[in-house]
Chain A
Amino acid sequence: MFNLSLLSKNILANRWLIIVLVLVGTLFFGNELKKLEIDADIVRSLPDDDADAKLLKKIGENFGSNNMGVIILETDNIYQPVVIEHIQLITNTLTEIDGISSVSSLTNIINIKGSEYGIEIGKLVDEYELPKTAEAFEKLRTNILNNPMYKGSIVSEDETASLIVFNIENDGNVNQIAKEVINKTTALQVPEKLYYIGSPMLVTYISDLMRKDLTTLLPIAFLVIAIVLLLSFRSLSGVILPLLIAVISIVWSLGTMAFLGIKMSMISNNIPIILLAIGSAYTIHVINRVNKVRLEQEPAAIQKALTFVLIPVILAALTTIIGFVSFIFGSYLEMIVDFGIFTALGTLFACLLSIFFVPAILRVFRSKNKAITIPTEHSFLNRYLLSPLYRLIARQPKTVLMVWVLLMSFSVVHLFSIKRSVDIQEYFKKDNPTRLAEQIMVEKFGGTKPIFVYFKGNMQSPAVLKKMLETSAYMEQSPDVYTSMSIAKLIDEINYNFTNSKTFPQQIEQIEQLWFLLDGNEVLPRFVNEELTEGIIISKFKSPDNTSKKEFARYMNRFIAENATEDCQIQITGMPFVDITMDQSLINSQMGSIAIAIFFVIVLVGAILRSLKNGFLAAIPIIATMVLLFGFMGLTGISLNIATVLVASVALGIGIDYAIHIIAHFKSSLKKNNDVYKAVKESIFVSGKAIIINVISVAAGFLVLLLSDMVPLQYFGLLIALSMISSCLGALTLLPSLLILINKKNSHYES
């Protein structure tokens, strides 16, 4: 073991160096913060080692499918002169925006159709003479209904919604362009309802929510924690120093993210609030101990206190870090791994700052420091909470244990009804316009979740194209696939118009020549690559239900296995496929991260307390908390999603500290007095008080997330707060009851 006293002495001797280093570090990382970018794109966070995700990313990049935005115009009837005028107005407005490569709507879409004397190539609607009469609208309606190309892409079957689809150039600034789209189309003040959807719009919208959350929730959390600290310590310095350390930790960890070029995701958006809630705790421990010692033995108080407090603070931080680091293993999304790494790093910073920077500051400003300790006159807590609690545990440890067993049994029953959700739409509140847009797309245009069937082969070969048509037809038999589009369908349509025959061209030369009519068409790069060696069928999946997705995956994989050849390789991907893997990964990730966290926590706590039994005992309240947490989720229908999957490990990392404090206190008291009841009483009255204050402060910080605009973050905040309360109750009731039951042969309870 290293010499704690020497370390404490060195820390104080080098106080100025430490202060300067912290200042320089904060300036550096603070400056780096300016570079921190927000990236809300979930597709970019998908791992490259997953075949579905890799193919999805490749298709997004090569065929530009990630850059497609959609405006839904909703009204009572699309076929009205004024509505068509407004669609044209929006179309023209979008065409004028720099960075938009193409716009496609009812008023500018190309229409190729056969006539008695040949082919008519024109626009569906004459852009200079928009339809005005009933006959003109009837003609337009017939044209749309008769063309399979327009199915689910232009006007809804109930004729109340129309789509304006636009593509952002590959090197375009998606956020800026999406905002321009919203601003310019909103400024038109058309009476019809406009909804925005598609990857660029969704990503921009989530980024805005993240920014809003950061700028509004962080100050609120700051204020709430400051109030809790002020009420607990009744001293200004007891508020300033812990919060300062939390803020520096936030600046350092986010600054490191920016320095490494890692973008802020919708998960790492939580880091500041988490660090604010937990980062202040270590400083509180240090200050508390310093002042306790100071009251007794000035002037070497700080050094002496440090010697005592180093190990508990490091231990508390290490267990929390283990909770965060456990996400690195088995997480499907890179954004969760990033979250784990940088929250763990922030916790490490908070811990290091508490043991190096805080004592240095206390040493420098020692004369001005008012003693900060938890006031002993917390009679309210003593009288109304801790005393009855102790009496109950001491008198009826078995009853307390039974209550816990019952609670856990009740939770276990509900544990199996936990729902999982990987649907990004659940990020938004029910009345959110994005969610409404998704609903319209599902009800009227066949869904939003993209499916891509990828073909590798000669895109002008009749065999490959016919296989594409067969695949489309097979796919469209699924109840969740409304329509699909591919180069094969385009060629088929042109061939029909050219030859007036439904027979697909048999010769490659015929297809090569029909291609003449497609050359230079803006839609071509959406379906085939430049070399004509790869092509895709684009479709949408309707159901958000996971069972339907799995069934569809099996259905399609069977077809692919039977039909793919060397000359016509077929693969399928899309969000439903990624969702299946993500859904499975939620369970794996949850089980994996909890198992890793519990294992390391038991080993670590066991090693530090020099007893594996104590390690296991410390884990019991937190395991009980996990069971209650999942039972609560099952009971209330809060789903396990990419945000709530983090709760258990985070709660474990933070909550284990309470049990450690109780066991450590109990152990030392038992050693001193050899009386179980006295040891339990002391543990509850001294450590219990600190635990309760810590729980209130941390839970209050996390409960601020209830004000978030993103639903999973609201649940995340609520569940962590509940877990903290449960861990606290576990440490103050379940654990002491167990300690009494295990050790009571040595003592007798005296009321």
Chain B
Amino acid sequence: MKVNQFLLFFFFSTVFFGPIAAQNAETLLQNMDVLIAAPKDKDANVLMIIKDKNGIVKEREAVLKQKGKYKKLYRYTKPEKQAGIATLSLPDNVIWLYMPAFGKAIRISLLSKSQAFNGTDFSQEDMSGIPYSDRYEPSLISDPNDENYQLELSPKSKKSKYAKIILTMDKTHYYPVKMEYYNKGDKLIKIANFKYQKQGAYWFAKEVMMTTVLKEHSTTIVLSDVKFDQGLSDTLFTIENLKQEE
């Protein structure tokens, strides 16, 4: 009986395949989180290229030191006027800003996650080190025959600027290839394109380009001289060190 066969197929596909697909999506996202957070620490030079609608380009350079997911130290080297400024990100959204001209560090509390970070196209939400699988509910939307996985990420918290993110993931290594950010009006607002490369045991985003669609504004972050697992000390990520390491 064709109808019965169909109902049987429907039953199995929803009861069994459904959770499998969900589990797959979750696993895939977790795999991506694992890949992103794999190095114990990271030391790199960061170049930020900020380009506006009229093609005006501004560049910033910094030295990045990162330990684990949440400890990040950026010390700016360019533009020269801002050389020496440093930001230290610690767990629980704690950020310290050090300005050498004042010789003091001050704690900054970034209350709004949707706010653009320092003139770039990245918001606090985008830059957060919190694993994607902790923040988003994934569902697999790509066809098995597609070149890459495609996941739809729905934020778990209502305090997200995004209604969904369409994540394109490399099928072999689980690194992100592209992320499309949609607002609550289901309008595409930002696109991130990632260029991952492997160094030693780790895959890392050599280049990320975030474009704000409506404003035709983009920020490209390029990493160079990347070193992993250098055994960076915790003392590097202290306020005292912010002042000393000028």
Chain A residues in contact with chain B, CB under 8 A? Answer: 96, 98, 101, 110, 115, 117-123, 126-129, 169, 460, 498-499, 507, 509-510, 512-517, 519-521, 530
Contacts and interface: CB of A to CB of B under 8 A. Distances in A.
Contact of A513 (B50, B99, B109): B99
A98 B108 contact: no
Interface of B is mostly: loop
A118 B111 contact: no
18 contacts: A101-B215, A110-B115, A117-B109, A118-B96, A118-B107, A119-B97, A119-B109, A121-B112, A122-B110, A169-B53, A460-B81, A507-B101, A513-B85, A513-B102, A514-B99, A516-B76, A516-B118, A520-B116
Given A98-B214, A516-B99, A519-B118, A119 B187 contact: no
Contact of B109 (A122, A126, A507, A516): A122
A126 B115 CA distance: 12
Contacts of A98: 214
A223 B215 CA distance: 51
B101 A123 contact: no
Contacts, number: 88
B101 A512 contact: yes
B101 A513 contact: yes
Nearest to B53: A169
B212 to A, nearest CB: 11
Interface residues of B, number: 34
B114 interface: yes
Contacts of B84: 513
Contacts of A516: 76, 82, 85, 97, 99, 118
Nearest to A509: B101
A499 B114 CA distance: 26
Contact of A119 (B100, B108, B215): B108
Given A101-B215, A110-B115, A509-B101, A128 B159 contact: yes
A524 to B, nearest CB: 9
A169 B217 CA distance: 13
Contacts of A515: 81-82
Contacts of B89: none
B188 to A, nearest CB: 12
B106 interface: yes
B112 to A, nearest CB: 5
B109 A118 contact: yes
Contacts of B111: 120-123, 126
A122 B93 CA distance: 13
A119 B99 CA distance: 13
A520 B50 contact: yes
Contacts of A517: 97, 118
Contacts of B85: 513, 516
Given A515-B81, A520-B116, A520-B120, A498 B99 contact: yes
B104 to A, nearest CB: 8
Interface string B178-192: 000000010100000
A513 B215 CA distance: 27
A121 B110 contact: yes
Contacts of A510: 99, 101-102
A96 B120 contact: no
B11 to A, nearest CB: 40
A118 B87 CA distance: 14
A122 B109 CA distance: 8
Per CB-CB distance, the 9 closest pairs between chain A and chain B, nearest first, are A520-B119, A122-B111, A118-B107, A509-B101, A512-B81, A128-B159, A519-B119, A510-B101, A513-B99
B56 interface: yes
Contacts of B187: 96
Nearest to A98: B214
B198 interface: no
B215 to A, nearest CB: 7
A101 B53 CA distance: 11
B114 to A, nearest CB: 7
A127 B125 CA distance: 14
Contacts of B159: 128-129
Contact of B102 (A115, A121, A499): A499
B2 interface: no
Contacts of B110: 121-122
A121 B102 CA distance: 19
B82 A513 contact: yes
A121 B158 CA distance: 21
Nearest to A118: B107
B87 to A, nearest CB: 9
A563 B185 CA distance: 52
A42 B115 CA distance: 37
Contacts of A118: 96, 106-109
B19 to A, nearest CB: 31
A119 B109 CA distance: 6
B102 A498 contact: yes
A361 to B, nearest CB: 57
Nearest to A115: B109
A91 to B, nearest CB: 13
Contacts of A513: 81-82, 84-85, 99-102
Contacts of B215: 101
A101 B212 CA distance: 12
A499 B106 CA distance: 9
Contacts of A499: 102, 104
Contacts of B96: 118
A86 B82 CA distance: 41
Given A96-B187, A519-B119, A121 B108 contact: yes
Contacts of A169: 53
Nearest to A111: B111
Contacts of A521: 119
Contacts of B108: 118-121
B106 A498 contact: yes
A132 to B, nearest CB: 15
